[in-house]
Structure 1
Amino acid sequence: MDTNSINRYASAIREAIVAHEADIECLDREIGDGDHYINMKRGCEAIAGLANELNGLDASDALNKIGMKLLSTIGGASGPLFASFFMAMGKSLKTSEAISINHLAAAFDAGVQAIMQRGKAQTGEKTMLDVLVPVAQTFKHMAEQGHTRPEIAAALKKTASEGLESTRNMLATKGRAAGLGERAIGHLDAGAKSCQVMIHAVCDLVLAG
């Protein structure tokens, strides 16, 4: 993975988030704070604006720069969480000269672990982690088993969608949704939806070759 790939993925993610504006905003209005989509769009635009600055950097430094930018750009709880994700990924790739699929899987897992630590959260709490954790696990397992990138991308799309759907019947223990108690049951989590959208966008690029 190089900065050209990172910029391509960032562009695809931005387009996908904008395309799913109605879905994300609807979910957030139902059980969230109502500002999730705005923050996600702001973060995507901030990353897109870094494209020229990222050129020439190695993947580790580029991801760290993205994390720092998000920390100062996205409001609410999302900023520090996504910043931690990218910075942890960058740190994980720091010593990797030739980045393999196994390195990427390990870096993604490191990013997810950073979100868990920063947010003091785990799976089963109706958050983005209900998508990110199973995706990280599937990614690492399939990379270790030697599956091809298209095979992994297809599996990660399926895992992300299943993770999103799993949030529907969960009680929420984080954010505004936690105060709704059982009234939040039956609704998908907006943060999980955003993560599903982003993962699908990246995987679709991989599948398109």
Structure 2
Amino acid sequence: MITVDEPRPVIDHAAVISRMIEACREAIAEREADLCDLDRAIGDGDHGTNLRRGLDALAAESRQLATMPPADALMAAGTTLVMNIGGAAGPLYGTLLLELGAALRRTSNWPNALSQAVAAVARRGKSSTGEKTLLDVLYPLSDEVIRHTPLHLLAQHVQGFAEMTIDMKAMRGRASFLGERSIGHMDPGAASCALLAATICRELTEAGIE
């Protein structure tokens, strides 16, 4: 008996980009106060507000971004975040998207492109894993993507990466001045990174992209 594979559904990338941006904006808006509370414990308390401002600016550009090829949209989004998110988060999140877009212009391999982008964030922040930053989410997330872990599973356990920063001593940024007193608090950058990563993984899964 001859079987014919069912054709894959056509993915509307423009719609996916728009929904992803809006979902991220909503996620940050909902958790803005929580992220500020985390930042207030070991920083200056404005992480959630800064991210909301950046995501609001990104949402205002979503229609234009949705018309671009993915690599170009990522680079444009990165520039918007750099210009609109205050503190250290703007350059770090902006670098992630800028470098991811640049890597995707060179290769169609998303896992490798993500790995290159995460390495660029580490260089920009002069940091690595174990130093209580968003890299403690980005590095294990990138490793799971390289292993082809299904995105719906990543969405479920990426929060665990952020929670691992609770027992870490901050080595970078304002929190590093607290020394041992930074232990016992989740890093706000790791928390927001996990939140955004989970949101993106869920949106991609719903769009049929694994």
TM range (shorter): 0.7 to 0.9
For the 8 Å contact 2:137–2:194, the answer to whether it is kept is yes
- 1:201–1:120 Cα change, 3 Å: same
Pairing 1:9-28 to 2, within 5 Å after superposition = 9-28=20-39
Partner of 2:121: 115
Cα shift readout 1:160-194 (whole Å, capped 9, x = no counterpart): 22211110110001111111111111111111000
CA–CA separation in structure 1 for the residues paired with 2:79 and 2:185: 32
For the 8 Å contact 2:132–2:171, the answer to whether it is kept is yes
Of stretches 155-164 and 63-72 in structure 1, the one that deviates more from structure 2 is 155-164
Partner of 1:48: 59
| Structure 1: segments with no counterpart, 5+ residues | 143-150
Partner SS, residue 20 of structure 1: helix
Partner SS, residue 44 of structure 2: coil
Partner of 2:5: none
What is the aligned residue count?
A: 196
CA–CA separation in structure 2 for the residues paired with 1:104 and 1:14: 23
Partner of 1:145: none
For the 8 Å contact 1:131–1:159, the answer to whether it is kept is no
For the 8 Å contact 1:63–1:86, the answer to whether it is kept is yes
Deviation at 1:31, TM superposition (A): 0.7
CA–CA separation in structure 2 for the residues paired with 1:72 and 1:188: 26
2:196 to 190, 195, 198: 198
Of stretches 104-113 and 116-125 in structure 1, the one that deviates more from structure 2 is 104-113
Deviation at 1:95, TM superposition (A): 4.1
Partner of 1:132: 138
Partner of 1:146: none
**Is the radius of gyration larger for structure 1 or structure 2?**
2
Q: TM-score, normalised by structure 2?
A: 0.87
Deviation at 1:128, TM superposition (A): 0.5
CA–CA separation in structure 2 for the residues paired with 1:170 and 1:54: 37
CA–CA separation in structure 1 for the residues paired with 2:159 and 2:97: 22
2:75 to 64, 74, 81: 64
Partner of 1:90: 101
Cα shift readout 1:41-93 (whole Å, capped 9, x = no counterpart): 01111111111222321111111111112222121111111111111111111
Amino acid at match of 2:39: D
For the 8 Å contact 1:71–1:83, the answer to whether it is kept is yes
CA–CA separation in structure 2 for the residues paired with 1:36 and 1:195: 11
CA–CA separation in structure 1 for the residues paired with 2:77 and 2:38: 27
Q: TM-score, normalised by structure 1?
A: 0.87
CA–CA separation in structure 1 for the residues paired with 2:131 and 2:27: 25
CA–CA separation in structure 2 for the residues paired with 1:166 and 1:64: 30
| Structure 2: segments with no counterpart, 5+ residues | 1-10
For the 8 Å contact 2:34–2:48, the answer to whether it is kept is no
